[in-house]
Amino acid sequence: MITSRRYAVDGRWLVIATLFAVALLANLLIVYRTIAYWHGPAWGWSDDWNELVQAATSSNPYTADGFRWSPVAAWILGFLVPLGIGAWRLLHFAALLVLRDWRVIALVLVSFPFWVDMVSGNVLVFAFVAAWAAIRGSRAGGLIFLAMVMLMPRPLFVPVTAWLLWKHPALRIPMAALLLGSVALVASSGLGPEWIGRLASSGSELGHPQNIAPSRWIGAAWIPIGALLAVVLTWRGRLGLASLAASPYLFAYYLLFGFLELAPRLSARRAGGDHPVSAS
């Protein structure tokens, strides 16, 4: 009887492992075909990484087509790009350990958004992991996520930012300090107007062929609808869906933030006060 029970468990895990392998291979095939079609010939499979390298190594980061981050982010990238694309991709896998739940890690690993972000050399995996840790109650995760908001602001980050500042008042002063420091550094760089101009040009992404948000079909009419949905969903604590609704346009790797729906939320009251605690 013990033996049969052991085999039953083994059989269940065999099914799970098979489904995992099939899902992983299917996603890898989709990523291969997508990146090969859109970016492979022009960028050599690491289009986003090449853009970050160009921004980090130029006197003016906005000579890099599509770079919309803060000039401060470009300075920081100067210390990171020497790692190379190989190490950068490995960091994507290492970052998933912060999630601490093997089931969620497995889901992310077989997801198309993760592989697009990892292969192209983007950073949304790191933002997602920081947001996950912050929602779980990690003060360090909250500070890292808010710093990323300052360095690479985008509507996708607004619901989590609003929820953190609402639920964890102790993060408000650090956020204000990050904001003031960022404004001062950007002003001293002299690149503020160019950065603002680049951010303003992001509306052109609504018609991008890779945009999978409703704005792809109804244009800017989606923006107020999505904003209203984001407010309602944030109020209800549905931060994954709220993040996706808040973004006027969605690329495949943005869907990583949908996994925030699985994050256990640690309220300020449960944390033992008005501040996050390190997730345990």
pLDDT in tens, 182-197: 999 999 999 999 999 8
Give Cα separations from 152 to 141, 175, 217 (angstroms): 16, 14, 26
Look up tokens 């904001």; give the residue.
179
Q: Please, which residues have CB within 8 angstroms of residue 64's CB and are 6 or more apart in sequence?
A: 51, 52, 54, 55, 58
Among 6, 7, 257, 13, smallest CA distance to 135 is for 257
Q: How many CA atoms lie within 13 A of 61 on its CB side?
A: 27
Sign of CA dihedral 201, 43, 56, 122: positive
What is the C-alpha end-to-end distance of the chain, expressed in Å? 38
Largest Cα–Cα distance in the chain? 75
* Separation CA 257–CA 262 (nearest Å): 10
- pLDDT digit of tens for each residue in the chain (280 aa)? 444 555 445 566 666 566 666 666 666 666 655 555 444 444 445 778 888 999 999 889 998 778 899 999 999 999 999 999 999 999 999 999 999 988 899 889 888 889 889 888 899 999 999 999 999 999 999 999 999 999 999 999 999 999 999 999 999 999 999 999 999 999 999 999 999 988 888 767 777 777 888 988 898 999 999 999 999 999 999 999 999 999 999 888 898 999 999 887 654 444 444 444 443 3
Among 120, 126, 121, smallest CA distance to 98 is for 126
Q: Which two tokens stand for residue 202?
A: 């992001």
Q: Kindly state the DSSP code that residue 265 receives in the 8-state scheme.
A: P
Q: Which two tokens stand for residue 94?
A: 């290492």
Element (H, E) at 199: helix 192-200
Q: Is 145 exposed, middle or buried (0-12, 13-18, 19+ CB in 10 A)?
A: buried
Q: Which two tokens stand for residue 206?
A: 């609504």
Angle between helices 222-235 and 158-167 (to 10 degrees): 30
Among 121, 143, 114, 111, smallest CA distance to 130 is for 143
Among 268, 257, 276, 266, smallest CA distance to 157 is for 257
pTM of the model: 0.82
